[in-house]
Amino acid sequence: MEINFTNVSKHYAARTHEKMEDVLMDPKGIGPAIHYYMIRGGSEQKNTTVWEPGTVSGEYIKTYGHYHVGDLSETYWIVYGQGVALMQKLKENENGEMIADEVEEFKAIPVIAGSEVFMPSKFGHLLANTGSTYLVCIDDSPVDFEDRDPSSFPGHADYQLVKEMRGFAYYVVEHEGKPALKKNPLYKKIEKEDLGGLQVIE
């Protein structure tokens, strides 16, 4: 494999608290300056994400979340720490466009080091760090280094629908020292859900 040393800086990005305010359960909550760090190599070299531990107003530190543009699946390999992966597939209108506030299927999956999670195309996905250490995950999503800001906002990812809904259908929150779920009131309906044994709190 050929490694391009001329654009090394393009491989690193960090997601700031300011940007995460779009999708936090409590956008005014206090959090770390950086929520997670990304080193992107693409499908072959793989991508690495490292999450800070902790919560913002009770919500665990998470990735922003996105849907893939086109028919593109992805695999997460958890290499350290523990977390909860969220996946959701939105309903589509007659033109095949996703309906932002109607979920056809939602899944919450508790993960630990060694877990592998497959995200089929059409399922939006995010991962929250529910442990007391860094959470570290490798994934195989593609990166087009010709994009303007490939590591921070790769072209294959659609963040807009998540922004519009201020996150996914549930937030992963700390409850009595353990992860639980709290409904995002902006979603109108969830047709099918598998909450991975997590409790739902009001």
Please give the residue ranges that form the binding site for Fe ion (CB under 5 A): 74, 141
> What is the distance of C-alpha 78 from the center of its chain?
13
C-beta of 128 vs 180, nearer to Fe ion? 128
Distance CA 101, CA 97 (A): 12
CA atoms within 13 A on the CB side of 169: 30
Q: Which two tokens stand for residue 125?
A: 């996905």
> What is the distance of C-alpha 103 from the center of its chain?
16
Distance CA 137, CA 147 (A): 23
C-beta of 49 vs 141, nearer to Fe ion? 141
Three-state DSSP at 42 gives helix
C-beta of 55 vs 83, nearer to Fe ion? 83
Q: At its nearest, how many Å lie between Fe ion and the CB of residue 58?
A: 26
Q: What is the longest distance spanned by two Cα atoms in the chain? A: 52
What residue type is 50 in one-letter code?
A: V
Distance CA 5, CA 10 (A): 10
Q: Which two tokens stand for residue 120?
A: 């089929």
